[in-house]
Amino acid sequence: MLPSAALSAVATSSTTGGSRSLLSVSSLAVQDVSAILRLATLLEGEEPVARALRLARRRVALLFYESSTRTRTSFELAAKGLGADTALISSQSSSIEKGESLKDTGITLRALGAECIILRHLSSGAPYLLARATGLPVLNAGDGMHEHPSQALLDLRTMLSALNRPEDTAGETLLAGITVCIVGDILHSRVARSNALLLPRLGARVVLSGPPALLPDLAQELGPGLTIERDFDRALKQSQIVMMLRIQKERLTGVHIDLDEYTARYQLHRERLRTSGPQAIVMHPGPMIRGLEITSDVADGPQSVIEQQVRNGVAIRMALIHRALEPAVQPGPGRKSAPVRGAKRSPAKKRGDV
Amino acid sequence: MSSILIRGGRVVDPSAGIDAARDLLLKDGRVAAMESPGKLAAAAKQAGAEIVEAGGLVVAPGLVDIHVHLREPGQGYKETIASGTAAAAAGGFTTVCAMPNTIPVNDSVETTRWMQGAERNASARVFPIAAATRGSMGEALTEYGSLKAAGAVAVSDDGKPILGEAIMHQALAAAARAGLPVIQHAEDTRMTGGCSMNAGALAFRLGLRGMPVAAEAGLVERDLRLLAELKGGRAHLHVAHLSTAAALDAVRRARRNGLHVTCEVAPHHFVLTENAVGEYDTNAKMNPPLRAESDRKAMLEGLLDGSIDCIATDHAPHAAHEKEQEFERAPNGITGLESALGLTLDLLHRKHKVSLSRLITLLSTQPANLLNLKGRGSLMVGAFADVVLFDPAAEWTFRVADTKSKSTNSPFDGWTMRGKVRVTISEGRVVFRGE
């Protein structure tokens, strides 16, 4: 069940900034997506001591120009889980504060032996610059309002698990027949862009919902398979999955939002979920502002898979780091048996009621 | 002063209505004679003229670029007047008009004179465009009369558009009295804060804030309204680097209503679209930004139907370390002097069958007339001996590694160009000789 030939397809398809980088979900072929999902499951199922031999003492740099809890921690745990050494550089407490450029920071990290850089940056497109400047594989851990590709992949893994769907079907039909509704501040959301670009290619319909100030009409032109439905209840009724987004106050420039009106129309609360989405799986990439886009009873309720999203972050990011450093996957050095797909995934208590 | 006989070439001089085989005698920095082939042999011999063979070449009035940034004083690491005009000469330009966004801003007689000083070692004639307001702060007008006397040919706060209605009104009126045009970079900056490319689906996709078409068109319309209020007062508005169909339409309407408005377009705005941004290529970042295909086509259309008066490069050199930054942080602008003729010949002449005479009109005669540069943009006897000789058919590859500019920020690196400059002569002096 572990055809390493199939897995090595991950490496052979060319992506922007080097075939081992991941800067945008658009650079992933559908078979790459499937291969990453399988690799995530393989690595997650491995015995930890054996897994830690895979990238033993290899060097991974985490370069964070923006604050982060989930993404940074899960990338770091993922790298360490594979045995790699990690170095964390954040814009505070580094020479970035003294005005060192992104290019020079990248070259410095490369000189220190970094073989892969994981970059979170406030400026859209910064990972492209870093990849060009260093020639190293770069993993985009969120750039401005552009993309957050590893988030879209972990969201995909969460969806498949919550829907009880196999991850090894042909990529184009992974999400056939599924409608995903993404709600709220689409304009400023890199998570929304990555999901809206990725999910339709796997067979899903994506419905975007939000007020025009946060969801301009041209969002629909992102790609095929997208529709806009400004009435949240109508959007929710069509959807098996609903993904809520935070209003990114730090990126609101000149956009004024009446929060009372916004919550009235777009908050996901128990009543709305019961009426319009009694079966819907509830997702949120975090951080959540409880009481604004989502209420606590929904976030902590039985339909929520928000914690699973976080948990899946580690497995997906192990796969991405592995792919960046070791494109040809060998059967694990200490693999005891073929892992059973989903063996260590999603505890049942949090499984959506579907 | 020495003499030069240019013989055997095809003279294309729209100012004289000539497109024919002619020899040209240059003497003492001026055009001394233009005659049928062979007829100037005796006069040339008598004058001891150097012979420049122009067989197979087009001989045209030196090109005139009314929109360049030479970065001096203040930013010599990007460009100097010497390096910028060397690039101009290599591109066939013998006249360049330098924008005032230097450090300090050129809002004074001293800076205006300094830029024209012989110590600058210019390879082309430099005409300063002075700031329209002190420090380009948009508050108080500069001294238009004395700036003109010092050599300024227009006033502009390029890059810092004049938003205040009252001050723009004053500027247009005062410039009219001084006999200068006001050049406006039409961008309502209240609508473009934090923006780094054209607004639209691509900007949305790339997660970049976009400059709407309305930011350009809106300010052009505002300025045209002010111009209409001053009608009869000889006020002349020139719209810099037009980039949108909507703004061009506004200019066309105003012209039909008899207003004195002119406009220019940069080669990148009729050659490229926003798609050139690709994977955040900062050499495709400029202001106004590259626009949609419909706007690019409108710019071409405007050049073909005559509603655009001239081509200007907006040559804007920046150091490599400045462009090698995050897209949103990188400065706006690209170099343009050495690629303008090649791009224009290829697209307008070869692909769209625009005559060479019309092309020279757009690149030389009309821009010279527009800023009232007497004796430029023409090869008539008595005009300055500003001449470009180019091979309109020669194919070559533009390489930023070979540029005369101090900067290499061009999206056209590696492009195949049609039409190669062979010789550039500025006021009777050979300033460039290509292979």
B15 domain residue, yes or no:
yes
Of A334 and B354, the one with more pLDDT: B354
B379 domain residue, yes or no:
no
- Owning domain of residue B260: 61-370
B247 domain residue, yes or no:
yes
B326 vs A contacts (CB less than 8 Å): 102, 121, 123, 125-126, 129
Range with the lowest mean pLDDT among A15-24, A99-108, B111-120? A15-24
Which member of A129, A190, A218 has the closest CB to residue B207? A190
A133 touches chain B (CB under 8 A): yes
Predicted local confidence at residue A326, as pLDDT: 87
Percent of chain B with pLDDT over 90: 98
Is B209's CB within 8 Å of A254's CB?
Answer: no
* Per-residue pLDDT tens over the stretch A50-91: 999 999 999 999 999 998 999 999 999 999 999 999 999 988
Chain B contact residues (CB < 8 Å to A): 193-194, 200-201, 204-209, 279-280, 321, 324-329
Tokens of A276: 């319009």
* Same domain membership, residue B156 and residue B41: no
E strands, chain A, are: 59-64, 85-90, 116-121, 138-143, 179-183, 205-209, 226-228, 241-244, 281-283
Instruction: Among A318-332, A334-348, B402-416, name the most confident range.
Output: B402-416
- State how many domains chain B has: 2
- Helix (H) and strand (E) counts in chain B: 14, 18
B412 domain residue, yes or no:
no
For chain A, the domains span 4-148+313-325, 150-307
Is A125's CB within 8 Å of B206's CB?
Answer: yes
- What is the average per-residue pLDDT within B249-260? 96
- What is the average per-residue pLDDT within B424-431? 98
> Which of B225, B237, B241, B245 is CA-nearest to residue B262?
B237
Alpha carbon separation from B45 to B2, B10, B40, B55, B387 (Å, rounded):
12, 21, 8, 19, 20
- What is the average per-residue pLDDT within A12-19? 45
B190 vs A contacts (CB less than 8 Å): none
pLDDT tier at A349, thresholds 50, 70, 90: very low
- What is the average per-residue pLDDT within B209-222? 98
Which member of B207, B280, B324 has the closest CB to residue A145? B207
- Which residue of the set B65, B309, B314, B386 is catalytic? B314
Is A125's CB within 8 Å of B326's CB?
Answer: yes
Instruction: State ipTM.
Output: 0.93
Is A218's CB within 8 Å of B324's CB?
Answer: no
Determine the residue of chain B that is closest to A142 in CA distance.
B207
* CATH number for the domain harbouring residue B7: 2.30.40.10
* Same domain membership, residue B312 and residue B223: yes
The two domains A4-148+313-325 and A150-307 share their CATH topology (first three levels equal)? yes
B19 is catalytic: no
Tokens of B397: 């590859």
Predicted local confidence at residue B1, as pLDDT: 57
* Same domain membership, residue B94 and residue B49: no
Which member of B201, B209, B326 has the closest CB to residue A102? B326
* Same domain membership, residue B253 and residue B143: yes
Is A146's CB within 8 Å of B200's CB?
Answer: no
Taking each helix axis from N to C end, the angle separating A306-325 and A70-81, rounded to the nearest 10 degrees, works out to 50
> Which of B344, B341, B212 is CA-nearest to residue B270?
B344
Is A222's CB within 8 Å of B201's CB?
Answer: yes
Span A4-148+313-325 CATH architecture: 3-Layer(aba) Sandwich (3.40)
10 Å CB burial of residue B110 (0-12, 13-18, 19+) is exposed
Of B280 and A90, the one with more pLDDT: B280
* Per-residue pLDDT tens over the stretch B368-385: 999 999 999 999 999 999
Does B128 sit behind a cis peptide bond, omega within 30 degrees of 0 on the bond before it? no
A148 touches chain B (CB under 8 A): no
Predicted local confidence at residue A318, as pLDDT: 98
Predicted local confidence at residue A342, as pLDDT: 41
B347 domain residue, yes or no:
yes
Could you tell me the pTM of the whole model? 0.92
* Same domain membership, residue B197 and residue B66: yes
B192 vs A contacts (CB less than 8 Å): none
Is A16's CB within 8 Å of B279's CB?
Answer: yes
* Same domain membership, residue B101 and residue B39: no
CATH topology of domain A150-307: Rossmann fold (3.40.50)
Say if residue A285's pLDDT is above 90: yes
